[in-house]
């Protein structure tokens, strides 16, 4: 080790001494990391130990924050440490933060360290841990240094892979990594859930096998078939089933359900003396045996469809068409479904529902939106895994990493229970801040509002201590229903929202439909670029009745109190004026009719189309407030589709061009004395929120889950120097200033 304190042999000898000492194992590890750090002239040396379930836990560190020990956990493949463990090979990086696998664990404070050398700790050819050194500067670790660290890791394996650190069962669980079946799935709503499997569409258990009257059984079967056909036709006519994967499944169902051969075989089975249910079951057993043997992969894949269809038929026979939501649920239900609509999800008892696994499912599906609002972990694209889980089986969903475990070992369950407990503790810390002011160390108030869109979001207002709702997405109510909500329904809904908000302000955004938010009651032409297409205010101005009714409902619901209305996707002043004219007309209409009005109507617009950002001066004279919608604004600004995983996060929004645009909007609004809120997802991330506040922003509307972390950040922030620092960042040629901002936060004690 060049430049090291003592040569490698000296280090190894001292390591042996430390490891042979009678001190408790964690003390020995602490001494080991101190020794290695000093020897390698590294600011950081850390040891991660593999625990059951392919999890790497920080066990000892010199240089990172001590409170991260036993808290920071990474899954194999996650982050640089996870990559080293998963591949079993070292990583030597002089600029670790630009590596695509880099993930930031805020509790470690590792953001200021640029270079990283990490090696796997191997025992009997298996990865039992990872040893890492880090330096602040962009250091190039030499070949010899990398080799020396590997030698050190070999020596460490004695201790790290032993049962002194983790229980023996866990060591063997780590060694036999595939012992518990685990599957990669797509994360749709984050979070961890541990619970018992519940089949969304329960499997009918057959108690009566022998028919008393075969004719009656045939009649029952025919009625069940008729019901099944109707059910499939109904599903196929639903608007969101007109194309895509769901549609293909239904086409297959329709084909099978109409298959005469299938029907005939069930008839024959009844004729042999079975009840209709038993006959369906018997034919399915035959199908299964036949299809499992076939070499035709397509037919084998269809087996799950046929299983499902047979079960549906039996549910028609048993007259049990409801989902598991209407049955009694275990206290920790993990619901498994081939597909599920948002309304079906809402039928479940929230206090018992822990998580959902979908065979298909996508990020933009309505059920996903609802699951996120409910805070329920949801994973999709689980394929036939859904069929492999039986009712009441223990399941763990890791909705952060995108994994599920079926019947996991006690060690895996325990390690997830610990993670859940650590999160609960963090949530408790945030809850303790509920009534604390959201004020910086130097006394500037940052107003924190909440984004909402469903009735179920509303209790979060109380829970988080948000000052109001800065963005209420009214379209969700329109998206979950099959029909356009009637005027009375809308009035009732908005009244409930206002009632729940009590005296806090609520900003209702008028319908933002189209694009990625289709509604079933309105036919749409196929569009090549729906995000740039006929959506939001464009639909509203072309079909003014929709907006008129919505405004009518809002004015009625807000009688006697203030009403805030905001328009989405306004691209030019003329559009804003046209939309505003509709509100003015509705106000006049009420006046003419002698009806009461809200005490004050404030009207504003989202700034989420770049053109509007360059038309602010004239616009600001006509609005009561504006709100920056970074989700759309940034996808148009960088010409990168927010829903396309290949490009959605390609550009760092903490970059000079994006920050300059935000700065321009914020400062122009302030110059005109017009309040400006930031309501895109970005504002809910602590580092991004810090940057925006540094650009002059004083009001954020963020998801309820972000209020606690952002408030904690605000309360640790001293604004003074940040504002000057931000101005300098805007002038840089860097593609991202994330690293600089992280270092700033670290050096100034900002809690991220």
Q: How far is the CB of 603 from ligand PEP (least distance, A)?
A: 17
What values do phi and psi take at 432, rounded to 5? -65, -20
- Shortest spacing between CB 718 and Mg ion, in angstroms: 33
Residue 201 contact, options Mg ion, ligand PEP, none, Cβ 5-8 Å cut-off depending on partner type: none
Are 630 and 652 in contact by the 8 Å Cβ rule? The answer is no
Q: Of 140-148, 202-210, 446-454, 626-634, which part binds Mg ion (CB under 5 A)?
A: 626-634
Q: Which does 680 bind (CB under 5 to 8 A by kind): ligand PEP, Mg ion, none?
A: ligand PEP
CB 263 within 8 A of CB 225: yes
In the list ligand PEP, Mg ion, none, the entry touching 159 (Cβ below 5 to 8 angstroms by class) is: none
Pairs from 738-742 (Cβ < 8 Å, separation ≥ 24)? 738/97, 738/652, 738/654, 738/687, 739/97, 739/111, 739/114, 741/654, 741/687, 741/690, 741/691, 742/104, 742/111, 742/112, 742/687
Nearest to Mg ion of 357, 661 (CB atom): 661
* Nearest by Cα to 606 from 537, 548, 704: 537
131's tokens: 């040893």
CB of 322 to Mg ion, least distance (A): 36
Closer residue to ligand PEP, CB minimum distance, 429 or 631? 631
CB nearer Mg ion, residue 361 or residue 568: 568
Residue 475 makes contact with Mg ion by CB under 5 A: no
Catalytic residue among 45, 679, 746, 748: 679
Cβ atoms of 636 and 606 closer than 8 Å = no
> Shortest distance, CB of residue 627 to ligand PEP, whole angstroms?
8
Query: Pairing relation of β-strands 73-75 and 55-62?
Result: antiparallel
Tokens read off for 409: 């070992």
Out of Mg ion, ligand PEP, none, which partner does residue 415 contact, by CB within 5 to 8 A per kind? Answer: none
679 interface partner picked from ligand PEP, Mg ion, none, CB below 5 to 8 A per type:
ligand PEP
Q: Which is nearer to Mg ion, 632 or 688 (CB)?
A: 632
- CB closer to Mg ion, 390 vs 631: 631
57: nearest Cα among 78, 72, 79, 77: 72
Taking alpha carbons only, the member of 203, 257, 299, 290 closest to residue 266 is 257
> Helix (H, G, I), strand (E, B), or coil: what is residue 678?
strand
Q: How far is the CB of 608 from Mg ion (least distance, A)?
A: 5
The residue with its CB nearest to Mg ion is: 632
Give least dist CB 680 to ligand PEP, A: 3
From the list Mg ion, ligand PEP, none, which binds 473 (C-beta under 5 to 8 Å, kind-based)? ligand PEP
State the Cα–Cα distance between residues 38 and 10, nearest whole angstrom: 12
CB of 568 to Mg ion, least distance (A): 6
Interface residues with ligand PEP (CB under 6 A) are 471, 473, 512, 608, 629-632, 679-680
CA 719 to centroid of chain Cα atoms: 31
Q: Which two tokens stand for residue 5?
A: 């304190």
Q: How many residues bind Mg ion (CB under 5 A)?
A: 3
CB of 629 to Mg ion, least distance (A): 4
Choose among 105, 689, 670: nearest CA to 440: 689
277 binds Mg ion (CB under 5 A): no
Fill in the per-residue mask, 603 to 622: x = in contact with Mg ion (CB under 5 A), - = not in contact. -----x--------------
Which option in Mg ion, ligand PEP, none does residue 145 bind, with CB closer than 5 to 8 A by kind?
Answer: none
Concatenating the DSSP letter of every residue in 161-181 gives TSTTTS-HHHHHHHHSTTSS-
Look-up of token digits 């645009």: 661
Query: Measured from the CB of residue 564, what is the shortest distance to Mg ion in angstroms?
Result: 17
Identify which of residues 47 and 365 has a Cβ nearer to ligand PEP in the complex: 365
Q: What angle do CA 578, 582, 585 make, to 5 degrees?
A: 130
Report the residue number, 23 or 364, with the smaller CB distance to ligand PEP: 364
Q: How far apart are CA 254 and CA 250, in angstroms?
A: 6
Judge whether 658 and 633 are in contact, CB under 8 Å. no
Query: Among the candidate windows 537-545, 548-556, 614-622, 627-635, which touches Mg ion by CB under 5 A?
Result: 627-635
Q: State how far the Cα of 333 lies from the Cα of 356, in Å rounded to an integer.
A: 9
- Alpha-carbon distance 609 to 626, whole Å? 12
Is the CB of 262 or the CB of 476 nearer to ligand PEP?
476
| Dist CA 190 CA 521 (whole Å) | 30
Q: Which helix (H) or strand (E) holds 15?
A: helix 8-20
Work out how close the CB of 720 gets to ligand PEP at its nearest, in angstroms, rounded to a whole number. Answer: 29
Residue 110: which of Mg ion, ligand PEP, none does it interact with, CB under 5 to 8 A by kind? Answer: none
Q: Which of 127, 104, 146 is nearest to 49 (CA)?
A: 127
- Tell me if 314 sits within 8 A of 206, measured CB to CB: yes
Q: Find the part of the chain contacting Mg ion (CB under 5 A) among 311-319, 546-554, 631-639, 640-648.
A: 631-639
Residue 197 binding result from Mg ion, ligand PEP, none, given CB thresholds of 5 to 8 Å by partner type: none
Pick the binder of Mg ion from 586, 632, 641, 688 (CB under 5 A): 632
Among 246, 316, 366, 663, which one carries the catalytic annotation? Answer: 366
Name which of 81 and 479 has its Cβ closer to ligand PEP. 479
Residues 336, 198: contact at Cβ < 8 Å?
A: yes
The entry of ligand PEP, Mg ion, none that residue 703 binds, CB within 5 to 8 Å by partner kind: none
Q: Which is nearer to Mg ion, 30 or 632 (CB)?
A: 632
Closest CB to ligand PEP: residue number: 629
Give which of ligand PEP, Mg ion, none residue 630 binds (C-beta under 5 to 8 Å, depending on kind).
ligand PEP
Which regions of 621-663 does DSSP assign to beta strands (E)?
625-628
Q: Is 54 in the site for Mg ion (CB under 5 A)?
A: no
**Helix then strand then coil, % of the chain, to nearest 5:** 50, 15, 35
**465 vs 680 by CB, closer to ligand PEP:** 680
Q: CA 140, CA 143: separation in Å to the nearest integer? A: 9
Q: Is 629 in the site for Mg ion (CB under 5 A)?
A: yes
Q: Which helix (H) or strand (E) holds 589?
A: helix 573-592
Cβ distance to ligand PEP smaller for residue 354 or 473:
473
CA dihedral 700, 705, 708, 712 (to 10 degrees): -70
CB of 433 to ligand PEP, least distance (A): 25
Q: 686-694 and 704-715 are packed helices; what angle lies between their axes, rounded to 10 degrees?
A: 60
The span from the first CA to the last CA of the chain, in angstroms, equals: 35
Nearest approach, Cβ of residue 612 and ligand PEP (Å): 12
Tokens of 712: 């904690």
Task: List the 126-135 sheet strands across, edge first.
Answer: 73-75, 55-62, 44-51, 126-135, 115-123, 91-93
For the CB of residue 88, give the shortest distance to ligand PEP in the complex, in Å.
Answer: 41
| Spatial contact of 651 and 638, defined as CB atoms under 8 Å apart | yes
Strand ranges for 389-444 from DSSP E: 394-398, 403-406
Residue 45 appears among annotated catalytic residues: no
To the query of whether residue 679 is one of the catalytic residues in this protein, the response is yes
Task: Using the minimum distance from each CB to Mg ion, give the nearer residue, 315 or 517.
Answer: 517
| Phi, psi of 576, rounded to the nearest 5 degrees | -60, -45
SS3 of residue 246 by DSSP: helix
Which amino acids are annotated catalytic?
366, 679
Chain residues binding Mg ion by CB under 5 A are: 608, 629, 632
């Amino acid at each position: 080790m060049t430049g090291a304190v003592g040569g490698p042999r000296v280090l190894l000898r001292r390591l042996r001494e430390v490891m042979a000492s009678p001190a408790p194992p964690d003390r020995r590890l602490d001494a080991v990391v101190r020794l290695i750090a000093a020897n390698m002239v590294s600011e950081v040396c850390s040891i991660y130990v593999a625990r059951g379930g392919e999890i790497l836990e920080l066990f000892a560190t010199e240089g990172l924050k001590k409170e991260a020990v036993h808290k920071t956990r990474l899954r194999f493949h996650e982050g640089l440490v996870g990559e080293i463990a998963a591949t079993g090979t070292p990583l030597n990086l002089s600029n670790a933060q630009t590596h695509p696998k880099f993930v930031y664990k805020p509790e470690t404070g590792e953001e200021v360290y640029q270079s990283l050398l990490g090696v796997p700790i191997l025992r009997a050819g298996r990865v039992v841990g990872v040893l890492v050194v880090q330096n602040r500067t962009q250091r190039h670790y030499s070949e010899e240094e990398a080799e020396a660290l590997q030698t050190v890791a070999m020596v460490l394996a004695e201790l790290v892979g032993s049962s002194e650190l983790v229980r023996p069962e866990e060591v063997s669980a780590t060694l036999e990594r595939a012992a518990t079946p685990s599957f990669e799935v797509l994360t749709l709503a984050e979070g961890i859930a541990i619970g018992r499997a519940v089949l969304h569409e329960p499997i009918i258990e057959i108690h009566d096998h022998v028919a008393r009257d075969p004719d009656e059984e045939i009649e029952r079967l025919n009625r069940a078939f008729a019901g099944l056909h109707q059910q499939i036709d109904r599903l196929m006519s639903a608007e969101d089933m007109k194309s895509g994967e769901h549609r293909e499944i239904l086409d297959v169902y329709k084909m099978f359900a109409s298959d005469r051969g299938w029907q005939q075989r069930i008839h024959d089975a009844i004729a042999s003396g079975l009840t209709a249910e038993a006959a369906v079951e018997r034919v399915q057993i035959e199908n299964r045996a036949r299809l499992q043997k076939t070499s035709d992969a397509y037919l084998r894949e269809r087996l799950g469809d046929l299983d499902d269809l047979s079960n549906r038929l039996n549910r028609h026979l048993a007259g049990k068409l409801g989902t598991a939501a209407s049955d009694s649920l275990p206290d920790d239900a993990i619901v498994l479904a081939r597909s599920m609509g948002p309304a079906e999800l809402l039928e479940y008892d929230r206090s018992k529902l822990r998580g959902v696994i979908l065979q298909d499912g996508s990020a933009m599906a309505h059920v996903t939106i609802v699951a996120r609002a409910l805070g329920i972990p949801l994973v999709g694209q689980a394929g036939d895994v859904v069929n492999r889980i039986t009712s009441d089986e223990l399941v763990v969903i890791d909705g952060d990493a995108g994994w599920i475990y079926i019947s996991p070992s006690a060690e895996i369950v325990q390690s997830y229970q610990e993670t859940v407990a650590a999160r609960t503790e963090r949530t408790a810390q945030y809850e303790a801040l509920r009534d604390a002011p959201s004020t910086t160390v130097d006394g500037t108030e940052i107003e924190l509002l909440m984004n909402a869109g469903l009735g179920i979001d509303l209790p979060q207002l109380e829970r988080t201590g948000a000052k109001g709702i800065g963005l209420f997405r009214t379209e969700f109510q329109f998206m979950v229903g099959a029909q356009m909500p009637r005027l009375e329904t809308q009035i009732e809904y908005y009244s409930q929202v206002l009632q729940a908000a009590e005296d806090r302000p609520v900003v209702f955004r008028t319908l933002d439909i189209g694009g990625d938010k289709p509604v079933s009651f309105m036919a749409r032409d196929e569009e090549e670029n729906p995000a740039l297409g006929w959506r939001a205010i464009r639909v509203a101005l072309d079909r003014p009745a929709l907006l008129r009714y919505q405004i009518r409902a809002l004015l009625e619901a807000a009688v006697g109190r203030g009403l805030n209305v905001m328009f989405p996707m306004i691209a030019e002043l003329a559009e804003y004026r046209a939309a505003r004219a509709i509100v003015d007309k509705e106000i006049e209409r009420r006046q003419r009719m002698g009806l009461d009005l809200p005490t004050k109507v404030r009207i504003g617009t989202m700034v989420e189309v770049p053109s509007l950002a360059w038309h602010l001066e004239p616009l600001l004279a006509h609005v009561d407030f504006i709100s920056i919608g970074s989700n759309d604004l940034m996808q148009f600004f960088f010409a990168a589709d927010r829903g396309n995983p290949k490009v959605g996060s390609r550009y760092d929004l903490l970059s000079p061009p994006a920050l300059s645009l935000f700065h321009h909007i914020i400062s122009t609004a302030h110059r005109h004395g017009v309040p400006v809120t930031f309501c895109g997802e970005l504002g809910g991330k602590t580092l991004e929120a810090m940057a925006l506040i540094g650009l002059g922003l004083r009001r954020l509307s963020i998801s309820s889950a972000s209020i606690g972390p952002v408030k904690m950040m605000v309360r640790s922030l001293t604004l003074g120097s940040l504002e000057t620092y931000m101005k300098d960042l805007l002038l840089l040629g860097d593609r991202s200033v994330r690293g600089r901002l992280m270092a700033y936060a670290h050096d100034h004690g900002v809690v991220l």
